[in-house]
Structure 1
Amino acid sequence: MTEQNSSGQVSGRAIPGKLKAALEYGPLLVFFAAFYLFKERAITVAGTEYSGFIVATAIFVPVLVAAMAVQYAITRHLSVMQIVTLVLVLAFGGLTVWLNDPTFFKMKPTLIYLLFAGALGVGLMRGKPWLQAVMGEVLPMTHEGWMILTRRFTALFLGLALANEIVWRTMSDEVWVNFKTFGLTAIMFIFIMTQSGVISRHGIDKDEDVGPN
């Protein structure tokens, strides 16, 4: 029997709220904890010394893969954004560990946000709010409402990409880890909370016609 999960996707089973939160935020918290556990000491493997940042990255990548594997096993679905994020984490996390250089992992959020902003921007130029394809089932709105929200998310992603570049290029590993773990999450949460106005103005019943897709 199929159900809808909290992201609105049809799946074999829905993920309980607490488990969903653990799968989404757990890997990031593991990275945060691992960094602070190893930040004052280096780990030597096969004659190569790795800093706490590299060790935390090496722990984070398989934890994220495992979390997404659990989610897929339950729902039989991963969103496009999750797949893109997973591919980039594997690529940039792998390069960070292989080359023993934290730069690649720090650049990853910038590339992710630019890809999301670019994809949404292309949709906007075509008059198609592609954000609706991701969130439309749980947040029914008019076409105009989705265009407004998509423009705002595009601007947000561009701003986050710029902020990440500034932080990792000008500040310490510790500052970046805190910014990545709490800063970016807080900004996203606050942004979503501030969109209640457009959501309430353009919200519709699911049975109503929402206009062009």
Structure 2
Amino acid sequence: MTEQAGPRPINPTLKMGLEFGPVLAFFVAYLWLKDRVFTIGGTEYEGFILVTAGFVPVLLASMAALWWLTGHLSKMQVVTAVLVVVFGGLTVWLNDDRFFKMKPTLIYLLFGGALAIGLMRGESWLQSVLDGAMPLTHEGWMILTRRMMYFFFGLAVLNEIIWRSMETQTWVYFKTFGLTAAIFVFFATQSNLFKEHSSEDDKAE
């Protein structure tokens, strides 16, 4: 297979819809079915289980469309898709919602762990993913990677606390809006880092 030099540009609204649409669809479907119980093959399934079963193929179809349109999927997207299939499948197969609720924890532990390994080698693996979006010096990338590592580990702990101590509906709100908002807030608070370690300033000099 020929490796693409970079993702092909597509309409930003369409791209956002493909990336966030499945999560929003999961949220809406959960609110619709959360209080219902379905009997399939003699086994009772709560609405959350059926919504999870529907979320897996919707996410895969969305990512397939994104790959077809852009010719590119990030490593983070691929890892997320694999974990969704594994933990979503276990949730439905074993009729146990705990597996799907643990998925974000494992995702953020994997991402944080990967960044930690890169840092121990004196490298910023985050740079290979985001280099095109944020021109930073090597020092800037190392600082951002270290902060992102702690951020991912913090999200993993927070997800564990919420799903283990609160109701399913609270966790769904947290997963749909809380995690996404946290990422936006994190990058918004890094403005000083982007200014102080911008590689564009070095080029200008």
TM-score bracket for the superposition, by shorter chain length = over 0.9
Q: Cα distance 1:207–1:142, how it changes in 2: closer, same or farther (>3 A)?
A: closer
Displacement of 1:87: 0.3
- Greater fraction of residues in helix: 2
Question: What does 1:193-204 align with in structure 2 at a 5 Å threshold?
Answer: 193-204=188-199
1:10 aligns with 2:12: no
CA displacement, residues 24-63 of structure 1 (integer Å, 9 cap, x when unaligned)? 1100001101111101111121111110110110111111
Following superposition, the deviation at residue 206 of structure 1 comes to: 9.6
Q: Are the aligned partners of 1:124 and 1:147 in contact in 2 as well (CA < 8 Å)?
A: yes
Contact 1:145 1:198 in 2 (8 A): yes
Gaps of 5+ in 1: 209-213
Question: What is the aligned partner in structure 1 of residue 177 from structure 2?
Answer: 182
Q: 1:53 to 1:204 in 2, by over 3 A?
A: same
Select the residue among 90, 94, 101 that pairs with 2:85.
Answer: 90
Aligned residue in 1 for 2:155? 160
Counterpart position of 1:38: 33
Aligned length: 201
Does the CA-based 8 Å contact 1:114-1:157 persist in structure 2?
Answer: yes
CA apart distance, 1:207:
9.0
Distance 2:193 2:18 in 1: 29
Q: TM-score normalized by structure 1?
A: 0.91
> Shift of the alpha carbon at 1:69?
0.2
Q: Which AA in structure 1 matches 2:6? A: V
1:57-136 to 2 correspondences below 5 Å: 57-136=52-131
1:39-98 per-position Cα deviation (integer Å, ceiling 9, x unaligned): 111112111111011011011111100110000001111111011000000000000011
**Counterpart of 1:44 in 2: which secondary structure?**
strand
Specify which of 3, 16, 24 is matched with residue 19 of structure 2. Answer: 24
Question: What SS class does the counterpart of residue 10 from structure 1 fall into?
Answer: coil
1:55 has 2:50 as partner: yes
Q: Tell me, yes or no, if the aligned pair for 1:34 and 1:59 is still in contact at 8 Å.
A: no
SS of the residue corresponding to residue 39 of structure 2 reads strand
TM-score, normalised to structure 2's length? Answer: 0.94
Q: How does 1:129-148 map to 2 (within 5 A)?
A: 129-148=124-143
Tell me, in whole angstroms, the C-alpha distance in 2 between the residues paired with 1:108 and 1:206. 40
Question: Partners in 2 of 1:207 and 1:20 — Cα distance?
Answer: 32
Q: Which runs of 4+ in 1 moved over 6 A?
A: none
Runs of at least 5 residues in structure 2 that lack an aligned partner in the other structure = none
Classify the secondary structure of the residue corresponding to 1:205. helix
